C-alpha cells in the first residue's frame, strides 16, 4: 500500500511518521508513505498557492492549479484520491477497512479558509473525521493514515484488531494486567480462573453491556 499526502505543511507529519507502529510499518516496507508539498507545483513565480475569492469576501482560497498538478503527477489508474474536508463522508472503521484494500491513496489536505470548488472535480471521495472544523486537513490525513495502516497485513497482530472496538459493531471488552488487586480494585475472578470458554463468554457479555451503556446507537 502506498499513501501520498499532499499538504502545505509537510513537517507536521514528522512525529507521526517517525514514531511507534507507523514507523515500524514503514521500516518493514508494509506501507510506503510520502508527504508532498503541493506548493512545489505552483507555476507562479513566488510559488503562491492561494488567492482572493471571486465575488469578494474575506480570506484566501486555495487555487486549483498547484493541487490539481500535484494530483495528476501522482495519479495512476489504481489510485484513489481523497479530499479531507468537514463536508465529506464521516470516517468509520468500516471505511478504514475498505480503504486498506486499495493499492494507492492520495490524501489531499486543504488549508486556509477554503479551496476552489472546482478541486472537487479531481478527487474520488471526500472524507471528514468528525463534525467540527479544524485548521486544515493534516490531522485528518494522519487519522485516516493511522487507521488504515494498522489494518495492513503484518502491521499489528490480526487477533488484536479482530477483537477490538467496532468489530461486529461492538466496543472492546475490558482488559486488566498485574497486580490482581490495585488499591482494592480487583480483577474480575473469571479472568483468573483459567477457564477459556468462560472467559470468552464473559468478554462477549461485557462487550454487549459496554456498547449498550456507552454507544447504544451501534446496536441499532
In the complex, the residues that contact ligand ADE under the rule CB under 6 A are 84-86, 110, 128-130, 132-134, 137, 140
The nearest distance, CB 70 to ligand ADE, in angstroms, is: 18
Record the cell numbers describing residue 201, joined without a space: 463468554
The nearest distance, CB 144 to ligand ADE, in angstroms, is: 9
Separation of CA 63 from chain center: 25
Record the cell numbers describing residue 84, joined without a space: 479531507
Q: Which is nearer to ligand ADE, 7 or 207 (CB)?
A: 7
Judged by DSSP in three states, 66 sits in helix
Q: Which is nearer to ligand ADE, 139 or 152 (CB)?
A: 139
The nearest distance, CB 96 to ligand ADE, in angstroms, is: 14
The nearest distance, CB 139 to ligand ADE, in angstroms, is: 8
| Residue 210: how many other CB atoms lie within 10 Å | 16
Residues 6+ apart with CB under 8 A from 24: 155
Cβ(130)–Cβ(90) below 8 Å: yes
Q: Which is nearer to ligand ADE, 89 or 186 (CB)?
A: 89
Q: Which is nearer to ligand ADE, 1 or 85 (CB)?
A: 85
- Residue 49 CA to residue 60 CA, distance in Å, equals 10
Cβ(153)–Cβ(25) below 8 Å: no
Judged by DSSP in three states, 218 sits in helix
- Residue 214 CA to residue 212 CA, distance in Å, equals 6
Q: Which is nearer to ligand ADE, 130 or 188 (CB)?
A: 130
The nearest distance, CB 130 to ligand ADE, in angstroms, is: 5
Amino acid at each position: 500500500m502506498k499513501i501520498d499526502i499532499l499538504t502545505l505543511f509537510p513537517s507536521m507529519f514528522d512525529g507521526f511518521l517517525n514514531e511507534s507502529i507507523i514507523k515500524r510499518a514503514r521500516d518493514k516496507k508494509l506501507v510506503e508513505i510520502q508527504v508532498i508539498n503541493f506548493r512545489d507545483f505552483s507555476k507562479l513565480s513566488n510559488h503562491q498557492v492561494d488567492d482572493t475569492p471571486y465575488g469578494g469576501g474575506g480570506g484566501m482560497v486555495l487555487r486549483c492549479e498547484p493541487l490539481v498538478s500535484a494530483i495528476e503527477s501522482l495519479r495512476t489508474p489504481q489510485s484513489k484520491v481523497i479530499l479531507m474536508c468537514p463536508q465529506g463522508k464521516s470516517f468509520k472503521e468500516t471505511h478504514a477497512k475498505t480503504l486498506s484494500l486499495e493499492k494507492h491513496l492520495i490524501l489531499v489536505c486543504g488549508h486556509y479558509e477554503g479551496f476552489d470548488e472546482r478541486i472537487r472535480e479531481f478527487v474520488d471521495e471526500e472524507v471528514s473525521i468528525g463534525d467540527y472544523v479544524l485548521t486544515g486537513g493534516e490531522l485528518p490525513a494522519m487519522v485516516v493514515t493511522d487507521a488504515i495502516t494498522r489494518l495492513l497485513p503484518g502491521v499489528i497482530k490480526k487477533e488484536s484488531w479482530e477483537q477490538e472496538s467496532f468489530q461486529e459493531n461492538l466496543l472492546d471488552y475490558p482488559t486488566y494486567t498485574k497486580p490482581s488487586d490495585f488499591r482494592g480494585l480487583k480483577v474480575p475472578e473469571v479472568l483468573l480462573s483459567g477457564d477459556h470458554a468462560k472467559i470468552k463468554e464473559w468478554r462477549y457479555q461485557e462487550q454487549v453491556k459496554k456498547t449498550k451503556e456507552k454507544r447504544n446507537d451501534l446496536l441499532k
